[in-house]
Structure 1
């Protein structure tokens, strides 16, 4: 009877412990839409909406690589995840498909505009070092420097600052298609597909990381369908959307391309997060050693974690805003753990400064909320 009672009590204890432990996955992103009726993009959940189960290091961050970091911003180790990669971008294969009206005007779209748009967007977030392919601007600037400063001065400056060599290239292929519906009154339906691939330019290897995948944008994502309505009579255009005019078609495709690049940007920001080292914690305020110079964005949601002897232990989540070379943040939620409790208590009593043997880092979880609205 006693043994039976002991077994029953043990089972009850296990049941209670199981009930106390949650197994829900971390929810660090959410589905969001921007104001011009764009396709859904994955953005970071606000740090103020996190729960304890969400406080985990993002899947794509290489914590083991931290052992390779020298923390010298101007000469960082190639294997350190804090180093900003150097990227060159290409628009490669372009294809146009469809049938009926509007195909010819669609073929006239110039993909070079997409490349410039892509370079500008990625350079603006300062998380990568972009090697531009805008040769016309570079050539014009070099000629102007020669005229104003002379060949010797330009040669000396060029010797000091060599052209960046890319760590990898991002190649995008595009497919533009059009179909129209109706005989007298019709609508033009456009689709733009962007397929991204990452290549090591030295080994020629197609890399699996970052995996940006395929992006599909439809004209209805950026324009009301009524705006693309037209009227025909005797198989001739009468009024409405000028599907045969490349200027009108380009305006629609540009909006679609902009939305596709926004989605591509959010994927890249998720797979290649911003990172910084925590210098100190005072109360709920944290100080980071890197800011805009390392691609930390305004209202960045960042997981704060301790790294020691190859082990990672999350201690909280913070909302971070950068200055040029550093950042300040607010711990919005401490992890329910003994380590977090210990650090929090020391931070309340003064300034907690991480030791060299147990450094603390911050890593972003994705594109900040409202970033697409305000910056792209």
Structure 2
């Protein structure tokens, strides 16, 4: 089984939201090649590999929205980019295509497994608050609490902690197809396509953002082709891959779905970056007011920038590691501008503390390079 992405460098040009002059496009991410005609995972470039032209606020971050922030973690303004959206996930239409051998077994795949997998992965990155649809587990736990704690205590606890109301719905549709080649000796080729939609449950609006597009995964991305080889005689199965056995088919589709969700995560992490406010800078060390609680990941590449009177001034790029409620990082490269040099000089002489007129923030540029390998 193939266990990792083949990562190749490519230039991904990001839109520029900056008050500084530059001479070239920013290159803040890398493309993880899955296979020919399959979808790619977009991986953040290491902060230690950045050059001057790369130090720009990434395309999908709403710098103007910072003016809406009240910096109250428990009750942040809905229009503040520091607030984590609450989402509920659905698998919608599911279709199966193909002809010949293996179609019936493919139809037996249970999409509920995909939903649980998706919820777990999204909850793990902590940039969204997930309202689970695992009703069976929740109901079972509530019954146990009733038996152990009594109805009065359970009712009091439920009143204190109400069910979250989603800001958005994430709806995924899937198309599974199978194609087999050969007559005596054949191979099964599976394809899984995932399309997503973001819906405002109150206005019923189909949201244009984030635009995650279509994700396509092939069986060759997760299995060596010989593993899906079978032998027929007189139109009957003889040996090899058991394409008619739903357990064997489910194992392949599960791996394909996991790969597809990995790619979906990288797109979400790019379009909905983690953000924190900079408390202070000492030398090359930077201190942030939020950490895992705001979805900052280990070895996060983050752009440090100053926001003042509606203007954005990139300061540098940092490699950041979080604790539960805060984070620290190392500025690996300072921006070659007068403002950045001034802050660097003050930080070298002591602790630079941003003023209320010129706040400094950190924003992530994408999925850390080792995240898919170590956490998914």
In 2, the alpha carbon distance for the partners of 1:264 and 1:340 equals: 35
Q: Is the Cα contact below 8 Å between 2:44 and 2:368 reproduced in 1?
A: yes
Cα deviation, residue 360, structure 1:
0.1
Cα deviation, residue 33, structure 1:
5.2
In 2, the alpha carbon distance for the partners of 1:313 and 1:66 equals: 14
**Greater Rg by CA:** 1
1:44 aligns with 2:51: no
Q: Is the Cα contact below 8 Å between 1:109 and 1:250 reproduced in 2?
A: yes
1:246 aligns with 2:246: yes
SS in 2 for 1:340: helix
State the number of aligned residues. Answer: 353
| Residue aligning to 1:137 | 137
SS in 1 for 2:304: strand
Cα deviation, residue 106, structure 1:
0.2
Write out aligned runs for 1:286-305 (5 A). Answer: 286-305=286-305
In 2, the alpha carbon distance for the partners of 1:148 and 1:70 equals: 41
In 2, the alpha carbon distance for the partners of 1:22 and 1:197 equals: 35
Gaps of 5+ in 2: 1-20
SS in 2 for 1:244: coil
SS in 1 for 2:115: helix
| Residue aligning to 1:164 | 164
Cα deviation, residue 97, structure 1:
0.5
SS in 2 for 1:204: coil
In 1, the alpha carbon distance for the partners of 2:186 and 2:109 equals: 22
Write out aligned runs for 1:1-376 (5 A). Answer: 23-32=23-32, 40-376=40-376
Q: Is the Cα contact below 8 Å between 1:303 and 1:365 reproduced in 2?
A: yes
In 2, the alpha carbon distance for the partners of 1:319 and 1:47 equals: 5
Cα deviation, residue 292, structure 1:
0.4
Cα deviation, residue 308, structure 1:
0.3
1:3-43 CA-to-partner distances (Å, cap 9, x unmatched) read xxxxxxxxxxxxxxxxxx85321000011258xxx953110
Of stretches 68-77 and 345-354 in structure 1, the one that deviates more from structure 2 is 68-77
Change (3 A) 1:118 1:26: same
In 2, the alpha carbon distance for the partners of 1:40 and 1:202 equals: 33
In 1, the alpha carbon distance for the partners of 2:337 and 2:87 equals: 39
1:53-111 CA-to-partner distances (Å, cap 9, x unmatched) read 00000111011111111111011111100000001000010000000000000000000
Q: Is the Cα contact below 8 Å between 1:39 and 1:259 reproduced in 2?
A: no
Q: Is the Cα contact below 8 Å between 2:222 and 2:256 reproduced in 1?
A: yes
| Residue aligning to 2:17 | none
SS in 2 for 1:173: strand
Q: Is the Cα contact below 8 Å between 1:86 and 1:167 reproduced in 2?
A: yes
SS in 1 for 2:367: coil
SS in 2 for 1:195: strand
SS in 2 for 1:257: helix
Q: Is the Cα contact below 8 Å between 1:93 and 1:173 reproduced in 2?
A: yes
Q: Is the Cα contact below 8 Å between 2:131 and 2:166 reproduced in 1?
A: yes
Runs of 4 or more, structure 1, over 3 Å off, are none
In 1, the alpha carbon distance for the partners of 2:317 and 2:120 equals: 30
1:258-310 CA-to-partner distances (Å, cap 9, x unmatched) read 00000000000000000000000000000000000000000000000000001
Cα deviation, residue 222, structure 1:
0.5
TM-score computed with the length of structure 1 as normaliser = 0.93
Query: What's the C-alpha RMSD, in Å, of the aligned pairs?
Result: 1.0
